[in-house]
Amino acid sequence: MALSLSSDVCPEIREYERQTTTVANAYVKPIMSDYLADVENRLKATGFTAPCLMMTSGGSLVTIATARDFPVRLIESGPAGGAILAGHLARRLGEDSVVSFDMGGTTAKICLIDDGEPLLGRTFEVDRAHRFMKGSGMPLKIPVVEMVEIGAGGGSLASVDHLGRIQVGPQSAGFRTRPGLLWPWR
């Protein structure tokens, strides 16, 4: 049985955000734990012996064991990694202020980088009822690189909903389904 303790997942005050973060962690934990165990086993089977570290939403690195315990911390890891790289390149090039741009399969995001560092935050929203409206989603209390979603990603699929409105995403042309999962396999 997978357990998620709020005192471990989000050891901070603010009960609502602590609860939503813990519930989100508990929801994705079994899926991510199985997936990351498979990744670890496949790496070992090929003779890979170096430590395998994963990027978090806040731009730090964690072991696979930590990622399996706290998968909620990986939710925005891809775009965060791009912002961390953009900050590194800005410092190397002597640029004080730059904007990073990340276009994934379902979203496009920008991040402002000042003095070679992306801005960091402590709260992030998922499952927004209104795509670009802050406060319409479920808050997660995790370290996160501050990014702004500016549009749909390159592989987003457009459709018409039951009210006749055009919808873009979150389904992506780069996704295929497996029984019980929606995961990016390419």
Judge contact between 141 and 17, C-beta under 8 A. Answer: yes
| Predicted confidence (pLDDT) per residue in 109-154, tens digit | 889 999 999 999 998 888 777 766 777 788 899 999 999 888 777 7
The mean-pLDDT minimum among 30-39, 46-55, 177-186 falls in 177-186
134 vs 105: CA distance, rounded Å: 22
Predicted TM-score of the model (pTM): 0.77
Greater model confidence, 182 or 106: 106
Does the pLDDT of residue 186 top 60, yes or no?
Answer: no
Does the pLDDT of residue 175 top 80, yes or no?
Answer: no
Judge contact between 75 and 20, C-beta under 8 A. Answer: no
Q: Domain residues of the chain, as ranges?
A: 6-74, 77-154
57 vs 65: CA distance, rounded Å: 16
3 vs 40: CA distance, rounded Å: 21
Q: What is the reported pLDDT for 181? A: 47
Radius of gyration of the chain (CA): 18
Q: What is the reported pLDDT for 18? A: 94
